Amino acid sequence: MSNKLWEKNTQVDKRIERFTVGLDREMDLHLARHDVLGSMAHITMLAEVGLLRRDELTPLLAELKRIYREAEAGKFVIEDDVEDVHSQVELLLTRRLGDLGKKIHSGRSRNDQVLLDLKLFAREGLERTVQAVCRLFDTLVAQSERYRHVLMPGYTHLQVAMPSSFGLWFGAYAESLADDLQMLLAAWRVTNRNPLGSAAGYGSSFPLDRQLTTDLLGFDSMDYNVVYAQMGRGKMERTVATALASVAATVAKLAFDACLYTSQNFGFIRLPDEYTTGSSIMPHKKNPDVFELTRAKCNKLQALPQQITLITNNLPSGYFRDLQMTKELFVPAFDELIDCLDMAERMMAQVRVNEHILDDPRYDPMFSVEEVNRRTLAGTPFRDAYRQVGLEIEAGQFHPVKEVRHTHAGSLGNLCNDRITAYRDSVLAQFTFDRVHEAERKLLGE
């Protein structure tokens, strides 16, 4: 007997099957818990609208909870002759409950099942990403406060430019992550809408209660138009990928700075020896491989929105098998980015700062602007002061005053880390994680 939901009397050529399934079964293992949750919500709704009896709902829910726990424990497998996670769940129910297991598909298509699974998977991944971003954010703010008074050169065009500080450097990346949370929030809002009930993209003649499944799964709302719900496949992934790419861009830039600043030519920061690697022939080497790999991985992640776009951008409305290919790109992306965030957090927590950078006279010219401003405040016209200091530098007669007093918001002497943290917290408060958790706990009977 076929274990494919769609197969009838004709068996598909094995080579065709191998080509069309691809890595889908492997990717579907990541969706198993989410598929079960969706089925629990769907059959609860079917019972409410009279398409399942109450005495049928109870054993189905009990078995689905058991399958959920198996998936949670890593014991769920998709068997060799089973096409996907949806087929495997239905097969397990049918083995354990007989024909009753076949009733869970009423009013559904694999199209809206996979839409739902991916949204449930993505919102869990977004929450995990937000948590990892916040861990790195907190470490960066702590380091910004710890080293707030330690000056370092600021650069433009990779030329020594003006005084900066480690307070500014660490804090800049924290604020960048806070802005990235805005992108993640937008992705969350697009993701946390319920496509279930759209079936193959044109609805169902069954009297489905889509608001009930929306509430049962903790969604903020449903994707109302059933055609749009199907059109959202690929769009949701692209939107989420854009948010992940925004975070990745911040982390990649941080990693690049860190690689630069750990080199001997800079020597601004230092990592513990156990956080570096060596050379097979150069005994002095302490390589920042973690930062280099983080940079590469995050640069790769920044290509993700374009990859998804190229798969989906020439498709009209309706479902097409092309969309399956987005899974292979999308599903692993969360773990890859979270791994980079966690490594960056660990490295940033352990990094040690050189507090004597400015003892080196090569950095004296970075105080030229401060001297120009000092003379301007004493009454010399700015252009005259600028020329005076420039001529002194050219003649080797410039002797800087290495004291910097910046007071305006966001500057050396006023980092605004408290405001940046408040901004982060205001964005964080808009995620509806608690509602989702409560809905899932109720559905699972916890």
Domains (range + CATH), the chain: 14-106 (1.10.275.10), 111-359+416-443 (1.20.200.10), 360-411 (no CATH)
Beta-carbon contacts of residue 38 (< 8 Å; ≥ 6 apart): 113, 116, 117, 120, 196, 217
- What is the residue whose two structure tokens read 């759209």? 198
| pLDDT attached to residue 321 | 78
| pLDDT attached to residue 56 | 96
Cβ(362)–Cβ(153) below 8 Å: no
List, for residues 340-373, the tens digit of each pLDDT value. Answer: 999 999 999 999 999 999 999 999 999 999 999 9
List, for residues 83-111, the tens digit of each pLDDT value. Answer: 889 999 999 999 999 999 999 999 999 89
Beta-carbon contacts of residue 47 (< 8 Å; ≥ 6 apart): 53, 54, 56, 57
List, for residues 31-70, the tens digit of each pLDDT value. Answer: 999 999 999 999 999 999 999 999 999 999 999 999 999 9
Beta-carbon contacts of residue 286 (< 8 Å; ≥ 6 apart): 271, 273, 276, 277, 278
Q: What Rg value do the Cα atoms of the chain yield, rounded?
A: 28
For residue 191, is pLDDT > 50? yes
Q: Which two tokens stand for residue 245?
A: 């790419």
For residue 25, is pLDDT > 80? no
For residue 5, is pLDDT > 60? no
For residue 192, is pLDDT > 70? yes
Average pLDDT for 262-291: 81
For residue 324, is pLDDT > 90? no
* Rounded Cα–Cα distance for residues 21 and 18 (Å): 5
Q: Which two tokens stand for residue 40?
A: 């629990």
Confidence of residue 289 (pLDDT cuts 50, 70, 90): confident
CB neighbours of residue 11 within 10 Å: 10
List, for residues 129-142, the tens digit of each pLDDT value. Answer: 999 999 999 999 99
Q: What percent of the chain has pLDDT over 90?
A: 80
Across all residues in the chain, what is the average pLDDT? 92
| pLDDT attached to residue 16 | 63
Reference 212, options 45, 437, 394, 410; nearest CA is 45
* Rounded Cα–Cα distance for residues 337 and 290 (Å): 14
List the single range of 268-277, 300-309, 383-392 with lowest mean pLDDT: 268-277
| pLDDT attached to residue 287 | 81
| pLDDT attached to residue 1 | 42
| pLDDT attached to residue 446 | 78
* Rounded Cα–Cα distance for residues 34 and 91 (Å): 17
- Flag whether the pTM goes above 0.85: yes
For residue 295, is pLDDT > 50? yes
* Rounded Cα–Cα distance for residues 326 and 238 (Å): 9
